[in-house]
Structure 1
């Protein structure tokens, strides 16, 4: 089965490609000829992932899934949440987002947080959503050079290193995206033949 992952994020594509079983061919937006920026203007992770998957499915007529991920910090009432990628403003980058987050958390002892991913699959007229959550905390200084996004400041529960200090295989074992993708893969394997 050929399925499109509605993202232009090479890191996400590589991460998910490693989790897919044989018989599932992952194609990118570029490979199906989709060069436009997909809109993400919903107020929830669920809404954004659905919006992207539906657009690609309708326009390119290919089974498709899309994800949206947010870091939800409890002391900040769930910020940055759905705005995680553009927390420091449009045109900002990961460094700016991390700097703003650490600044906002300076006076807090409670640094508990969770990463949450929601994936929407649209295939053969069916729409299904899958969620993955990993709890942990935001540390005070960046640690590690791998990963992307907030990985250098997020330490998952039960571990003494950040996502950015883990190998991709280690991270995939426990990450929010890994959990959601495994649910997606289980569903596809059960309901769709390659």
Structure 2
């Protein structure tokens, strides 16, 4: 039950972030729903394709789909001033979503008996893939590839789970808390990866 709650919080957060970006780019109503939906589920679909699972598994997640559509609808009818106030709280929800989605992706790969590097890729794609697609569709440079350390924490969860494939629920919970904590610390202190490497002769 607790994992379901975390997962649905993440679904709502990702759906809201996609919808908000679409509204900032003055997309029409259909565009807002598309961007919110893609942000939520795009990474999981790509992950499924890469690890040999059917992309159609998405349509089996009825509660998740309804959660995303509800979150998008609420975002649309909420005054923009309130949405700006929500942004700080959305960072926490986003961190919860990143952690829950990353762990989910890693576990899917473990079930497929994939090697650790594939588990890490599955974790990253599930955690940040939707955000990458969102940025591209919105015509923005993906911050996740530019300077944000967002992907690092997603990769960390995949690495830990890949090392301990028989990981227990208690250990998974500690991984979850670790990723959420590191994500919030990186936001608070504005941690970034180096923009470029200077090579010396």
Per the TM superposition, whether the score is higher than 0.5 is no
Band the TM-score falls in, shorter-chain normalisation: 0.3 to 0.5
Higher relative contact order (CA 8 A, sep 6+): 2
TM normalised by structure 1 equals: 0.33
Q: Which has the higher helix share?
A: 2
